[in-house]
């Protein structure tokens, strides 16, 4: 696990488990935690890591309902938890499949922790976009359209030229039964229109706009 500073007060934290990348944006009055990990143990570890960076009150945003991005949220309570309005309904959909996958792969502890995790529904929801004031820094949570899921949320930090994309951008796009492949390129165009210089995927290292364009083009040919 390691922190990467992608802008002034804007950090990404890589995790070996599923190559997950979580985010942190720091204002003068509060900080924004972007996704929380795949179970309550991982969430507690991430909360402690954030506390090693800042003692400010936090707000959580969930980029989408797949388990690895939000089953650690309980470690951050009490706090506001933002997500798209369709996120809550999908929060448990992939848990049984992944519990069985971990068991099959000989990872009983991960299976146990995932089975025991208690998802936290959002306290605040958005439909299209909302801007949050962190104190001296505005961040925009936006739903660019149906893509990886029907409820993806990206986080734009305009003052830093950074976008946290969740799984809208990955080294290899994860196309699942809840994906909308034909609409995905348009969602990526919306992110590219933001004019950021750094895009932080939900899995993997930060990338530039050319990487996002290349992924859009591959998906357009799917």
Residue-range domains of the chain with CATH: 2-220 (3.60.15.10)
Q: What is the pLDDT of residue 65?
A: 97
Instruction: Give the pLDDT confidence score for residue 171 in this predicted structure.
Output: 78
At residue 132, does pLDDT exceed 80? yes
Cα 194 off chain centre by: 18
Running DSSP on this structure, what letter comes out for residue 24? E
CB atoms within 10 A of CB 48: 10
Q: What is the mean pLDDT of residues 90-101?
A: 94
What pLDDT, on a 0 to 100 scale, did the predictor assign at position 144? 98
Q: What pLDDT is recorded for position 1?
A: 74
Instruction: Report how far residue 41's alpha carbon sits from residue 12's, in angstroms, rounded to the nearest whole number.
Output: 19
Mean pLDDT over residues 183-196, rounded? 98
Q: What is the model's pLDDT at position 173?
A: 81
Arithmetic mean of pLDDT, 89-114: 96
Is the model's pLDDT at 29 over the cut of 90?
yes
- DSSP H helical ranges for 66-120: 95-104, 108-116
Report the pLDDT averaged over residues 166-171: 92
Name every residue whose Cβ is closer than 8 Å to that of residue 21 and which is 6 or more positions away in sequence.
12, 13, 14, 15, 200, 201, 202, 203, 204, 205
Q: What's the confidence (pLDDT) of residue 44?
A: 97
pLDDT cut 90: percent of the chain above it: 92
38-52, 129-143, 162-176: range with lowest mean pLDDT: 162-176
């Amino acid at each position: 696990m390691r922190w990467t500073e992608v802008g002034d007060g804007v950090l990404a934290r890589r995790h070996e488990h599923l190559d997950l990348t979580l985010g942190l944006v720091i204002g003068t009055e509060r900080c924004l935690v972007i996704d929380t990990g795949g179970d309550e143990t991982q969430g507690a570890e991430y909360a402690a890591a954030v506390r090693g960076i800042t003692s400010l009150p936090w707000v959580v945003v969930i980029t989408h309902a797949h388990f690895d991005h939000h089953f650690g949220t309980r470690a951050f309570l009490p706090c506001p938890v933002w997500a798209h309005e369709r996120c809550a309904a999908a929060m448990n959909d992939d848990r049984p499949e992944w519990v069985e996958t971990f068991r099959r792969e000989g990872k009983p502890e991960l299976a146990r922790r995932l089975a025991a995790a208690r998802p936290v529904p959002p306290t605040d929801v958005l439909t299209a976009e909302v801007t949050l004031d962190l104190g001296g820094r505005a961040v925009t949570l936006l739903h660019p359209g149906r893509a990886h899921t029907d409820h993806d949320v990206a986080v734009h930090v305009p003052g830093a030229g950074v976008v946290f994309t969740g799984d809208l951008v990955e080294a290899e796009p994860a196309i699942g039964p809840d994906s909308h492949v034909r609409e995905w390129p348009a969602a990526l165009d919306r992110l590219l229109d933001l004019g950021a210089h750094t895009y932080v995927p939900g899995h993997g290292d930060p990338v530039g706009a050319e990487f996002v364009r290349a992924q859009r083009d591959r998906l357009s040919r799917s």
